[in-house]
Amino acid sequence: MRFVHTADWHLGRIFHGVHLTEDQAYVLDELTEIVRDARPDVVIVAGDIYDRAVPPQDAVSLLDDVLSRLVAKVGVPVVLIAGNHDSPERLSFGARLLANSNLHVFGSLLPECCPVVIEDDFGPVNIYAIPFAEPPVVREKIGGDDIRDHDSALRQILQHITARQPADRRSILVAHAAVVGGKTSDSERPLSIGGSETVEPAIFEGFDYVALGHLHQPQFSGEDHIQYSGSILKYSFSEASHEKSVTIVEMDATGKCAIERIALSPRRDVRRIEGTLEDILEKARSDENQDDYIMVTLLDRQPVLNAMGRLREVYPNTLHIERPLVAASTMHAQAPADHLRLSEAEMFSSFFSQVTGEEMTEPEARAFADIIEALRRREREAT
Ligand SMILES: [Mn+2]
């Protein structure tokens, strides 16, 4: 049997003020084409379908559109679960009806944890899709007085499942969790505040493949068949070096899995650029991907006027600028206590040298003094 494993779509994500829905639609078109070519028996989406519990309307339309195409047009069953960003109840809407149409949505944790059964030439495969749930919810729905954290909660669910799983039947687990030792990024929201959020990979014993969501970088956890597919797009600048992909898995008659990652190419990449402003503007001229989402680390030691405006002339999607070499020195110059003590002339002279990198000349200082004097005179006459 062949299946596609993807996760962390985060539909409706806003990245530094930019709505990513169009970029998400673009990459999901690509994913749909990959599914069309691969002709899998099922597509698995391992949570964080939406970026927030109440997603924007166009994110809901996009999901509706993608799922309709996959299930109705391409003709592939889809199994999806809620992640920690999703609202279990909202995602569950219509789930019992949709299951009859090959769309298997697991929003709220169900006490029965019944598998979706998919047949291939070698017989049935049980897919256990476990939506993300807080430990108290697991205690309430599944039972288990010793549930304290995510590890013991998921352990309880898996014991519940494996106790009923026929030994000779192949099985896949779909879950949204943070496995110990995983490589994280800046865009995974912590699963618990304070308590431990990680689970041991050993708890997945007995499943032939574990399709995980939550970590945004594709990776395996402990063993090859315990996989994170990663997110479909880079959702933070900390992911700039990631290769985003979907995972295609070929499972044989014994449950052994061959794993392949197919790269996704976004409409706009997320990149980090470093250099002095002049350097960056110069190099940008031969850059073919000026629409990418850019974070700039400016290495100028002197303050630069209107850096964002000038960068956006070449990189319209410059979203963030970092000034590691300036921060420390300007912080001293701009300490509020100093401001109160400085005269206007001193303040302006300090501003002038920060912006131009040079001291004011005698005639410039005089010109400034004349302007201030003229303003004062006007003020006096007005009162
Ligand atoms: Mn997550």
3-state secondary structure (DSSP) of residue 19: strand
Per the rule left: phi > 0, alpha: psi between -120 and 50, beta: everything else, 159 is: alpha
Q: 33 C-alpha to center of ligand 1: Å?
A: 25
Q: 359 C-alpha to center of ligand 1: Å?
A: 53
- Residue-wise pLDDT tens digits, 123-170: 999 999 999 999 999 999 988 888 999 999 999 999 999 988 888 899
Specify the pLDDT at position 44. 98
Q: 22 C-alpha to center of ligand 1: Å?
A: 21
Q: 228 C-alpha to center of ligand 1: Å?
A: 11
Question: Of 161, 77, 158, 80, whose CA–CA distance to 119 is shortest?
Answer: 77
Query: What b-and-e string marks burial along 96-123, b requiring 16 or more CB atoms within 10 Å of the CB?
Result: eebeeebbbbbbbbeeebebbebebeee
Name the strand (E) or helix (H) holding 337: helix 336-341
Q: 327 C-alpha to center of ligand 1: Å?
A: 33
Q: 214 C-alpha to center of ligand 1: Å?
A: 4
Q: 47 C-alpha to center of ligand 1: Å?
A: 7
Domains of the chain, each with CATH number or no CATH: 2-263 (3.60.21.10), 270-379 (no CATH)
Q: How do 219-221 and 123-129 pair as beta strands?
A: unpaired
d(CA 286, CA 279): 12
Name the stretches of the chain with pLDDT < 70. Answer: 193-195, 327-342
Cβ pair 70, 35 in contact under 8 A: yes
Specify the pLDDT at position 327. 56
- Residue-wise pLDDT tens digits, 351-367: 887 777 778 888 999 99
Q: How do 198-199 and 223-228 pair as beta strands?
A: unpaired
Specify the pLDDT at position 194. 65
pTM of the model: 0.84
Q: 234 C-alpha to center of ligand 1: Å?
A: 14
Q: 93 C-alpha to center of ligand 1: Å?
A: 20
Specify the pLDDT at position 35. 98
Q: 61 C-alpha to center of ligand 1: Å?
A: 21
Q: 363 C-alpha to center of ligand 1: Å?
A: 61
Q: 86 C-alpha to center of ligand 1: Å?
A: 9
Beta bridge partners of residue 210, listed in sequence order: 173, 226
Q: 176 C-alpha to center of ligand 1: Å?
A: 7
Q: 100 C-alpha to center of ligand 1: Å?
A: 28
Q: 365 C-alpha to center of ligand 1: Å?
A: 58
